[in-house]
Structure 1
Amino acid sequence: MRWTLVTAIAPVAWGTTYFVTHEYLPTGHPLYGAAIRALPAGILLLALCRQVPRGAWWWKSLVLGTLNMGSFFALVYLAAQLLPTSVASTIMAASPLALMLLAWAVVAERPRGLPLLGGGIGIAGVCLMLLTGTVHLNALGVLTSATAMVTSSLGYVLAKRWSAEVDVLASTSWQLVAGGLVVLPFAVVREGAPPSLDTGAVLAFAYVTVVATAVAFAVWFAGLRRLPAAAVGLVGLLNPVTGVLLGTVVAKETLTLQQTCGLALVLLGILLGQPVASAAAARLRTRPRTPGRSRAVGAESGRDTRVGRTGRTGRRDAD
């Protein structure tokens, strides 16, 4: 449960980026937005870990950085400009199921019944929370958001597969730097000069870079290393929950009954996917059925050990 709570920091932080991007960051510069978000965050973590890639981690960092950061940041930035936050968040809510299926194919983590049920319940809850009325759908925006969901899910599974090889802080920093460097040349060619930033945009980028990127991805990959992919994916549903609650606070509105029911379904879906219940059941299955007898056997084993050491029987205690 401790690592579940730590991992939850990431989707909560990411849930704020839609609002920040839509309200404060310049439009029409998704590639520069991705580069400005990834590169400073990667350099910050690199300064903390002071490790550079070795061997295969040069190309692994490039692959993971492109999937998890470079292309993902650009696609999310663009989706936030083309779609209402509610629609973009709803599409991304399918990522737990995508993560489960990809984890099954890549790291042989077969999805179990409860996490799959939790994923379905969670997606239904997100739909209840966000799809509260008629909204305009931009086809490019929908495709962009769906592509971001699939590519990031694949990147997360690959990161989980390779996670035991290096320190999580180091691998996160390499991914961020690689992702930023991949996107930057495309930004120069496609978008020309960097966007001019006012004070609000600078502060917004500072928040997105440090909190919603450096800190969030470090704890996310740490959670992926220690928890099943299904559990981590369902924790990601806190992303749209945060977006709804933030919008409610900013707009000073109260949650409707429909949104409240949706929130309850999302939380239920997250709980169903956590490994606490299965771990407790495993401990019960491995617990000895006759503790008294087990202790007696252990005591006998201990006396036998003493006999082997002294070459005498337990009568030594009586002598």
Structure 2
Amino acid sequence: MRTHSSDLLLTAIAPVVWGSTYIVTTQFLPNFSPMTVAMLRALPAGLLLLAIVRQLPTGIWWRRIFVLGALNISIFLSMLFVAAYRLPGGVAATVAAVQPLFAVFLASALLASPLRPLSILAALVGIGGVALLVLTPRAGLDAVGVAAGLTAAASMAVGNILTRKWQPPVSLLTFTAWQLTAGGILLVPVVLIFAPTIPAPTVTNLFGLVWLGLIGAALTYVLWFRGIARLESAVVSPLLFISPLTAVLLGWMFLDQTLSPIQIAGIVFVIGSIWLSQRPAR
């Protein structure tokens, strides 16, 4: 139980940090394109870790790493930032909150994991809680932003399942370095085509990029992939509900946003969904 609890807490650090993505993106990188931010978040962090581990994939792992890099890094991050730039407040987090529900069915199909009704209930409760948190009367919806958020959720759900299915014969740090580097490389031609001009970074921009890259990518992906390898998908995926919870709390603390009674109820729902997801199967 102690090992499980420590694994759970370490894994939960990742979505807590990811919850800061929206406020950092909008406040520190307002003039950057979503694809540029995604590439600058992944590639430098991946190359830094690759320089540390000094090991490249071999054989079938070249193909697998680029598949995982596309799903977990390239598609997920680029679509996440498109949603963050186009959707107000934490609406992007609401759309991405369907990821745990995707993961429940994908784990059953790809990993032959039992389809637990409690896991489905936990995912639905979490989605409802996130909706109460961020879908305020002032929240607007952008079709492209919503589509991007759903794409990010689906991409990460598939990537997480395949990450658990394809356990690599290397250390966790090496595995993370490979995925971040591959995902960043795949984003380079996209940036060159759609956003060839990168603004000259200010000190504020550099702080945002360092936070998103070193802390929000290099550190958190190591912790996240560690959790995926050690814990069941139905246990790990609901932890993502912590991200919108963190985003709302950061907005309350630093952007003078207020928490209504409905939003407080949403917090209770999110915490309840995480608790439900951790209940042992009968």
CA–CA distance in structure 1, aligned partners of residues 32 and 49 of structure 2: 28
Task: Give the whole-Å Cα distance in 2 for the aligned partners of 1:76 and 1:87.
Answer: 12
Rounded to whole Å, the distance in 2 between the matches of 1:224 and 1:90 is: 22
Q: Note the 1:163-202 alignment, pairs <5 A.
A: 163-202=167-206
Shift of 1:71: 1.8
Match of 1:263 in 2: 267
RMSD, aligned CA: 1.5
- Contact 2:118–2:277 (Cα < 8 Å) also in 1: yes
Distance in 1 between residues matched to 2:168 and 2:186, nearest whole Å = 25
Q: CA deviation at 1:28?
A: 5.2
Aligned to 2:230: 226
State which of 96, 101, 104 in structure 1 corresponds to 2:105.
101
For 1:162, give the aligned amino acid: W
Shift of 1:257: 1.5
Q: Shift of the alpha carbon at 1:48?
A: 3.0
State the alpha-carbon separation in 2 of the partners of residues 190 and 259 from structure 1.
37
Cα distance in 2 for partners of 1:39, 1:86 equals 26
Q: CA deviation at 1:164?
A: 5.0
Cross-structure match for 1:72:
76
- Greater mean alpha carbon deviation, residues 20-29 or residues 51-60: 20-29
The share of aligned pairs that are identical, in percent, is: 38
Residue equivalent to 2:150? 146
In the aligned structure 2, how far is the partner of 1:100 from the partner of 1:145? 18
Normalised TM-score (structure 2): 0.94
Which entry has the higher C-alpha Rg, 1 or 2? 1
Alignment match, 1:42: 46
- Paired residues, number: 278
Supply the distance in 2 between the matched residues of 1:121 and 1:32 (Cα, whole angstroms). 34
Q: Which string of whole-angstrom CA distances, capped at 9 and with x for unpartnered residues, describes residues 200-256 of structure 1?
A: 011100000011111111111100011110111101110100001100101345532
Amino acid at match of 2:104: M
1:14 to 18, 42, 55: 18
> Shift in Å at residue 165 of structure 1?
3.5
- State the SS of the aligned residue for 2:219: helix
Change (3 A) 1:109 1:220: same
Look up the SS of the partner of 1:149 in the other structure.
Answer: helix
Q: d(CA) in 2 for partners of 1:218 and 1:187?
A: 25
* Cα distance in 1 between the residues matched to 2:134 and 2:33: 26
1:1-319 mapped onto 2 (5 Å cutoff): 1-27=5-31, 29-274=33-278, 277-278=280-281
- Residues 86, 144 of structure 1: alpha-carbon distance in 2 compared, 3 angstrom cutoff: same
Q: Deviations over 1:28-80 (max 9, x none)?
A: 52222111110111122223333211111111111111111112211111111
Q: Is the 8 A contact 1:64 1:159 kept in 2?
A: yes
For 1:60, the aligned partner's letter is R
SS in 2 for 1:85: coil
Is the contact between residue 11 and residue 224 of structure 2 (CA under 8 Å) also seen in structure 1? yes
CA contact (8 A) 2:168 2:175 kept: no
CA distance in 1, matches of 2:16, 2:134: 16
Runs of 4+ in 1 over 3 A off after TM superposition: none
d(CA) in 2 for partners of 1:50, 1:119:
39
Partner Cα separation in structure 1 for residue 219 and residue 115 of structure 2: 28
